[in-house]
Amino acid sequence: MSALEDIVVWVDGVGLLGPGMNDWAQGQALLRGEAAYEAAPTVLPAPELLPPAERRRASRIVKAALAVGLEACRQAGVEPGALPNVFAASGGDGHNCHALCELLATDDRQISPTRFHNSVHNAASGYWSIATGATPAAQVLGAYDASFAAGLLEAMVQVDASGQAVLLVVCDSEYPQPLHAKRPIQDTAGLALVLAPARSERSIGQIRMLRRDALQEKAPDQLSSAHPALAACVGSMPAMRGLPLLQILCSPGTERSVALEYFSPQSLVVTVARAEPA
């Protein structure tokens, strides 16, 4: 393998959930401009596959992660528990963090262990393993607003190094006030990709990344959209920083580079192409 060769992965499945976007099928129509965007609170499905006790305790970020991860795996035709996975989030579950802060501000600082373990940023990954029985390697990243790009970078390198498919799940949830004033995430959102080392009959697109110099001093690309409220999702929710990539992926006959927000002044630059039928 030449050090100058690009890292190439194929997208076999996509999961999407956010305000006014209930799944990838709806997301495609919005990103292609085929449907009008109606801003609405994120609808979180019941957490599939979890045992009843864990289902009752599942936080908003866990519900989003399970929904998009399972959707991407179904589309790719793979068993959810069979894939190594990379989970990325800018922080933990906002509502649990808010509740913990409220408790710590009282005289009685008895913290519920369940509340605590649901607040940390790797909770979604843990619940994924409970729900799917997954035992392959799992990575959990937290990179603030760069979390989507950092997760994609990690997942692509893993696919390239191992020659195996990898599931990437990026999700975040909103914070109630007063934390919301300091971290104004709009709503709970999630985005998942099943990335494979080779094209299959299920592949819907390709992502290429320079093996060197993929991180460049470049402003991140914005979502091209006639719907201002949809474009605003990219700026208000870290997981939705991947929407410009998905917009290329669902547009027939397109191949172009996209700069994804990383740590300023850098962006992660990848080339995305839709896989047309053979």
**How many other CB atoms are there within 10 angstroms of residue 236's CB atom?**
16
Angstrom distance (rounded) from CA 159 to CA 7: 9
Among 7, 14, 6, which residue's Cα sits nearest to residue 202?
14
Angstrom distance (rounded) from CA 188 to CA 184: 12
Q: What is the mean pLDDT of residues 243-261?
A: 91
Residue 140 has pLDDT above 80, yes or no: yes
Which of 3.40.47.10, 3.90.1300.10, 3.30.1280.10, 3.40.50.1980 is the CATH number of 12-203? 3.40.47.10
Q: What is the pLDDT of residues 7-32, one digit of tens each?
A: 999 999 999 999 999 999 999 999 99
**Domain residue spans of the chain:** 12-203
What is the reported pLDDT for 1?
A: 47
Q: Are 72 and 246 in contact (CB under 8 A)?
A: no
Angstrom distance (rounded) from CA 117 to CA 137: 20
- Which tokens sit at 269? 């630059």
Q: What is the pLDDT of residues 180-228, one digit of tens each?
A: 999 999 999 999 999 999 999 999 999 999 999 999 999 999 998 778 8
CB within 8 Å of 188: residues ≥ 6 apart? 17, 18, 42, 44, 60, 61, 63, 64, 171, 172, 173, 174
Q: What is the pLDDT of residues 64-84, one digit of tens each?
A: 999 999 999 999 999 999 999
What is the reported pLDDT for 56?
A: 81
Torsions phi, psi of 88, nearest 5? -135, 140
What is the reported pLDDT for 92?
A: 81
